[in-house]
């Protein structure tokens, strides 16, 4: 999918809050696609064809996008609930629809465009609908900048402007199976949004456009090079090193241990409350990622062997496992067979029985300066 390198639907919130991010993001290499993005594109492509052709979802079984394949699972858990949501919004099937359309602002904002999932019209109401197939962050619909961007752009695009002609209301819909979120707004609100967008794009074109942090930073590709981010880290480190004496730092570390325990207990308590069926505002319990297991291990071994697949793997046991076995035979593990390799350093209190690690790099640096 082609994206505007200035601002599109999914980046509207960031650009309107942080105009300086446009120039920074343009310096970043294109972000590689991933399994989840490809799955989302596959589902968007298929659902657009379904709503425009009235074909049955199963006719698209095994459709591919990059390495992602449309499975029955995706049809049942994503496409069918998303299509059912459409029936709720348009129960009498009277909505005129335009799906998967590139919309933009023409000469008002050259190079600014996006791709709408669905633009529709029922009576005197225009509909702007976005499918969200990811399982991650729940997206709110009210004052959603992505949907307002699509509405504003669609009002200026030949293929979609018919849906907004003389409407009194514009309904924004986010379908994130199994949820459907709806918000009705007015053409006047979208006109105001467009003004704000134009202002942000103009600010973004200034050489020292403002960089402003906020929750819009979450999806910003420029985070690794953003002075607001690196500056914040540097400043925090500098303050700690220069302004905090080591006595205070030691005291802070004790507090950090306590704080870690407090956070752990707080999470455990919330889990316990939710587990008991009560609610904690803003939180819920979800299943951990499942790991596949054999239903019947012996049956699986037999089946794999029939397919000429060796179901067993052999690997060297660890020194600890060897020691356990040798102990049963009253034998000791020779020292010269084993070496202990540390994976790095960790912070410990001064009374920890382990010896302190010699900081070789700083000692070498010190010696080097003496030699100069
Ligand atoms: S990380 Fe945040 S502050 Fe920095 S450019 Fe991106 S949006 Fe702006």
Whether 2 maps to a domain, the answer reads no
* Co-location of 191 and 251 in the same domain: no
48 and 82 in contact (C-beta within 8 Å)?
no
The Cα–Cα gap between 129 and 92 comes to 17
Whether 318 maps to a domain, the answer reads yes
**Angle at which helices 35-53 and 80-89 cross, to 10°:** 50
pLDDT at res. 36: 87
Ligand 1 centroid from CA 140, angstroms: 21
Per-run averaged pLDDT (10 residues), the chain, 372 residues: 86 96 89 85 94 91 93 93 90 92 95 95 95 83 97 96 96 91 96 97 94 88 83 65 69 73 79 86 85 91 92 90 92 90 79 75 51 46
**DSSP one-letter code for 288:** P
Residues in contact with 194: Cβ distance below 8 Å, sequence separation at least 6, in sequence order: 105, 108, 152
Whether 211 maps to a domain, the answer reads no
Ligand 1 atom 3: residue of nearest CA: 213
**DSSP one-letter code for 20:** T
pLDDT at res. 20: 96
CA distances to 17, 98, 118, 228 from 217, rounded to whole Å, are 9, 32, 27, 10
pLDDT at res. 372: 45
The Cα–Cα gap between 334 and 326 comes to 11
29 and 135 in contact (C-beta within 8 Å)?
no
* Co-location of 298 and 345 in the same domain: yes
| Structural domain containing residue 250 | 223-268
Ligand 1 atom having least distance to the Cα of 220: 6
* Co-location of 200 and 88 in the same domain: yes
**Domain CATH for 116:** 3.90.320
pLDDT at res. 37: 87
* Co-location of 200 and 126 in the same domain: yes
The Cα–Cα gap between 64 and 71 comes to 10
Whether 6 maps to a domain, the answer reads no
The Cα–Cα gap between 238 and 85 comes to 53
Ligand 1 atom 1: residue of nearest CA: 223
* Co-location of 35 and 184 in the same domain: yes
pLDDT at res. 188: 97
Rounded to two decimals, what is the model's pTM?
A: 0.65
* Co-location of 163 and 309 in the same domain: no
Whether 99 maps to a domain, the answer reads yes
Ligand 1 atom 2: residue of nearest CA: 217
Lining residues, ligand 1, CB within 6 Å: 14, 18, 20-21, 24, 211-213, 216-217, 220, 222-223, 226, 228-229
Ligand 1 atom having least distance to the Cα of 24: 5
pLDDT at res. 238: 67
Ligand 1 centroid from CA 15, angstroms: 9
Residues in contact with 299: Cβ distance below 8 Å, sequence separation at least 6, in sequence order: none
273 and 280 in contact (C-beta within 8 Å)?
yes
């Amino acid at each position: 999918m082609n994206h505007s390198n200035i601002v599109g639907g999914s980046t509207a919130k960031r650009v309107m809050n942080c105009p300086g991010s446009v120039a920074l993001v343009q310096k970043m290499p294109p972000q590689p696609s991933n399994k989840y993005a490809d799955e989302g594109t596959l589902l968007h492509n298929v659902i657009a064809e379904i709503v425009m052709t009235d074909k049955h979802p199963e006719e698209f079984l095994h459709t591919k996008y990059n390495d992602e394949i449309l499975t029955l699972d995706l049809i049942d858990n994503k496409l069918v609930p998303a299509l059912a949501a459409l029936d709720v919004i348009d129960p009498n099937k009277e909505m005129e629809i335009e799906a998967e359309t590139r919309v933009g602002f023409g000469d008002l904002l050259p190079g600014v465009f996006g791709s709408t999932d669905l633009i529709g019209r029922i009576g005197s109401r225009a509909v702007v609908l976005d499918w969200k197939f990811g399982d991650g962050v729940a997206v709110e619909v009210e004052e959603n900048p992505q949907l307002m961007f699509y509405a504003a752009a669609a009002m200026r695009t030949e293929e979609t402007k018919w849906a907004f002609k003389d409407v009194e209301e514009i309904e924004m819909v986010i379908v994130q199976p199994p949820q459907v979120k709806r918000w009705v707004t007015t053409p006047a609100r979208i006109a105001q949004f467009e003004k704000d967008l134009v202002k942000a794009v103009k600010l973004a074109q200034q050489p020292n456009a403002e960089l402003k942090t906020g929750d819009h930073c979450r999806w910003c590709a420029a985070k690794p090079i953003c002075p607001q981010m690196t500056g914040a880290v540097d400043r925090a480190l500098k303050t700690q090193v220069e302004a905090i004496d080591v006595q205070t730092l030691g005291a802070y570390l004790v507090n950090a241990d306590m704080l870690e325990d407090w956070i752990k207990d707080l999470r455990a308590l919330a889990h316990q409350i939710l587990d008991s069926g009560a609610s904690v505002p803003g939180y819920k319990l979800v299943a951990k990622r499942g790991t596949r297991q054999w239903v019947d291990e012996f049956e699986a071994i037999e089946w794999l062997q029939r397919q000429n697949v060796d179901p067993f793997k052999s690997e060297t046991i660890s020194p600890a496992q060897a020691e356990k076995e040798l102990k049963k035979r009253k034998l000791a593990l020779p020292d010269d067979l084993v070496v202990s390799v540390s994976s790095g350093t960790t912070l410990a209190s001064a009374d920890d029985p382990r010896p302190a690690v010699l900081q070789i790099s700083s000692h070498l640096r010190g010696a080097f300066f003496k030699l100069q």
